[in-house]
Structure 1
Amino acid sequence: MTVVVIATHSPKWESEGKALAADLQAALGPTALRVEHIGSTSIPGMDAKPIFDLQVSVSDLDTAEQPLSAVLPELGFSDTTYFHDHVPAGYGDSPDAWRKRLWMRRDSVHPDVNLHIRQAGSPGERFALLFRDWFRAHPAAVPAYVEFKRSLAAIVADSATYTEVKNPVVDLVIVMAEEWARRTGWRP
């Protein structure tokens, strides 16, 4: 059982996330079309689990598996059995459209990282960037989301339950974010 710890936002997270993304981009070479810092640590003012979420966009998940499997363990990452993102309510996509690979790094030498490998142009790739960019464009929404996360972390016993309960709230945020994307012409 993994207890959820929400850390106070650190202004260093932005530069640390960019550095981690740049290092991974260099290590993965052309397999990684792009590497982005996503998730709560990428959002100014957002308290978060002290784990960096990075997204690696690849041209094809199956083709990328072999080169990623050759490089990522050397960088301290372990493969997981996590193969799909949560499909937000109302999206109606096949779960296959939300395929991904998740690698994790947890050691005492490097920052903790969740590495999300997604196919370029997939709904999951877009979702992660939209979530980040909507909060960046709406800093007034950050404190309410932080309060929700802190309250939830205080009452659930483990990370899996935390994520399961948080997903419908993220779905509500994405409803607003999708409207903002339509209105502003946002593109990933």
Structure 2
Amino acid sequence: MPFPDEWAPVAVLDHRPEWAVDFARLAGVLGDALGSQALSIDHVGSTAVPGLAAKDCVDIQVRVAAIDEDVHTGLLAAIGFRRRPEPWNRVEVSGGEECRKLVFAPPVGARRCNVHVREEGRPNTRFALLFRDYLRADEDARRAWGAFKQRLARTVPDLADYGQIKAPATEVLMAAAEAWASRTGWRPAPAATRGG
């Protein structure tokens, strides 16, 4: 859930090229703060897919060897990032497995973003990369997903309600993404570079 300073009705915008620029700047800030803790910093979510409509909130995945709540929270708090407190921002089920994660909001007044700290090699880390890469590769899926989100945002401007409705549709999308991954031999890029 957003912190009070982040609250706004859901709006899904046409793709903006500056999202990639914003990601690169944020990745640099996060990389400096996390140092060797960050195995990779990936641009994920809808803003990472050229041509895809999205909320104006950059999603960033930081891949780490193992989540250490105290270390990662301390390093990010030192540059103003706030750990989201909700239970679903600490664990998620992906591929039938419970996976740990941490999610951070930006400093007050900073560019809207979500920083997802996930462990390298885990199903939830793979999920974020597959979502991005599938929608980058499949124009029809990208167009349909963007149109769905824009229609949904126009009728359901509350973020919690929007998310509840979008979740089962995401499962359908990801079933198609898994079929695409099998067909093409897709594998996540190794966590060796900062970018995405």
TM-score, normalized by length of structure 2? 0.84
> Which one has more relative contact order, counting CA pairs under 8 Å at least 6 apart?
2
Describe the SS at the equivalent of 1:99.
Answer: strand
Would you say 1:71 and 2:63 are equivalent positions? no
* SS of residue matched to 1:35: strand
Displacement, 1:162?
0.8
**SS, match of residue 90 in structure 2:** coil
Q: Equivalent residues in 2 for 1:43-54 (5 A)?
A: 43-54=49-60
Structure 1 Cα separation of the partners of residues 145 and 52 of structure 2: 8
Check conservation: 1:57, 1:120, Cα contact below 8 A: yes
Q: Is the 8 A contact 2:11 2:157 kept in 1?
A: no
- Structure 1: 5+ residue runs without aligned partners? none
Tell me how far apart the structure 2 counterparts of residues 186 and 121 of structure 1 sit (CA, whole Å): 15
* Aligned twin of 1:20: 26
| Residue 99 of structure 1: how far off its partner (Å) | 2.2
Deviations for 1:122-147, whole angstroms, at most 9, x for unmatched residues?
A: 11100000000001111232221111
Structure 1 equivalent of residue 161 of structure 2: 161
More helix by share: 1
Deviation at 1:23, TM superposition (A): 2.6
Q: Deviations along 1:85-120, whole A, 9 cap, x unmatched?
A: 3x46xx4x23x2x22111111533x31110111111
Percent identical residues: 38
Check the 8 A contact 1:40/1:132 in 2, yes or no: yes
Moved more, 121-130 or 20-29: 20-29
User: Distance in 2 between the 1:167 and 1:181 partners?
Assistant: 20
Contact 1:104 1:113 survives alignment (8 Å): yes
1:1-188 aligned at under 5 Å gives the runs: 2-61=8-67, 64-81=68-85, 82-85=89-92, 87=93, 91=95, 93-94=96-97, 96=98, 98-105=99-106, 107-108=108-109, 110-188=110-188
Amino acid at match of 2:176: M
Which consecutive segments of 4 or more residues in structure 1 shift more than 6 A? none
TM-score of the aligned structures, taking structure 1 as reference length: 0.88
